[in-house]
């Protein structure tokens, strides 16, 4: 079908949060380590927000790699239990980035 986007045009956007359990109420050092690990993934864009990190990549595998390296970073700091949430949005009818989505809201 000619109107379908090629794989290269699909952008995956995800909301990800990670929580060490049993590490006390302050988790900033764990979150910081997880975020630092994201910077090493080529082809991954991310935006940190107060409650989660928004991930963006043309490849779903990069999003899943981000989860994996974040868990590894938190484990290295000694977390005995880790809980995380991941919500994925793949729009297949047209390419949309996280920046496009925010701009679209501002223009309404």
Q: What is the DSSP string of 72-104?
A: HHHHHTT-S-EEEEEEEEEE-SS---HHHHHHH
Predicted pLDDT at 1: 40
Task: Answer whether residue 59 is part of any domain.
Answer: yes
Specify the number of domains making up the chain. 1
- Distance set, CA 96 to CA 10, 13, 32, 75, 100 (Å): 8, 9, 28, 33, 6
Task: Answer whether residue 101 is part of any domain.
Answer: yes
**Domain limits for position 34:** 7-106
Task: Answer whether residue 79 is part of any domain.
Answer: yes
Residue that is written with structure tokens 């779903």 in the block:
60
Name the more confident of 43 and 93: 43
Task: Answer whether residue 2 is part of any domain.
Answer: no
Report the Cα 28 to chain-centroid distance in Å.
17
Task: Answer whether residue 1 is part of any domain.
Answer: no
pTM score, two decimals? 0.85
Question: How does pLDDT run across 46-63, given as a tens digit for each residue?
Answer: 999 999 999 999 999 999
Give me the CATH number covering residue 74.
3.30.70.930
Task: Kindly state the percentage of the chain with pLDDT values over 90.
Answer: 69
Question: Is 97 a residue whose pLDDT tops 50?
Answer: yes
Question: How does pLDDT run across 7-42, given as a tens digit for each residue?
Answer: 557 899 999 999 999 888 889 999 999 999 999 999
């Amino acid at each position: 079908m000619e109107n379908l986007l090629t794989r290269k045009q699909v952008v995956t956007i995800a909301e990800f949060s990670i929580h060490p359990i049993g590490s006390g109420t302050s988790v900033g050092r764990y979150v910081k380590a997880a975020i630092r690990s994201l910077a090493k993934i080529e082809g991954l864009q991310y935006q940190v927000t107060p409650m989660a990190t928004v991930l963006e990549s043309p490849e779903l595998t990069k999003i899943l790699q981000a989860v994996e390296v974040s868990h590894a970073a938190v484990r290295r700091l000694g977390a005995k239990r880790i809980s995380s949430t991941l919500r994925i949005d793949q729009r297949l009818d047209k390419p949309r980035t996280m920046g496009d989505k925010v701009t679209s809201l501002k223009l309404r």
